[in-house]
Structure 1
Amino acid sequence: MLELLLTTYAFCYHFQLDDPLIQLVEDYKWINFFDFRWKLGIDGLSLGPVLLTGFITTLATLAAWPVTRDSRLFHFLMLAMYSGQIGSFSSRDLLLFSSCGN
């Protein structure tokens, strides 16, 4: 539930709905030799899927509360799936986290 609360907080207090440009941008050099970059950002189109992913992942985790067999592995895989989905919705390039040039 913590990730849903953090995501909701970030969008409520740091995302401006009247700005059509990409916001909450992260852009770092990843592999200098190939000029690969880590580019993430959220625009108005990806806002809904990101929030919906957080909500559905939280519901799925709460619904699977009685899981007792390998529960740590289950929760790790849920967080890995959540991270991958958020990454795919907020990626700013075709190769998902790596692109040559600008």
Structure 2
Amino acid sequence: MNTTSLPKPNSMEFDIHAKLKAANSHWSYCYAVHPHDKGFDYQFNTTFVGEMEFAVYERIENYFVLVDFFKSYDEACDDAKKIIDDHPDIKKMFSVS
């Protein structure tokens, strides 16, 4: 697993496909919605293998599609930050005491 942080492009449009490929990441680009996901528009997933990593998925019809994966809030793309900001219970996970 690649443990280095990838730089976030400043002037280019964010491309999750390029980030997945560059990181040789384990995250899936999308997965099917299951019956227990009824009513949910987002999934926030975490892994902890050596260090914590997060992924935000957005529901598009019958699939959850990867918005971004990151190790800290600052590394997240703008779309992922907006989703996190709209959910205070998730946002507080990134707050430093």
State the TM-score bracket (shorter-chain normalisation). Answer: under 0.3
Q: Which one has a larger percent helix, Structure 1 or Structure 2?
A: 1
Give TM-score scaled by structure 2 length.
0.27
Q: Which one has a larger percent strand, Structure 1 or Structure 2?
A: 2
Larger-gyration structure (1/2) = 1
Q: Which has the higher contact order (CA 8 A, sep 6+)?
A: 1
Give TM-score scaled by structure 1 length.
0.26
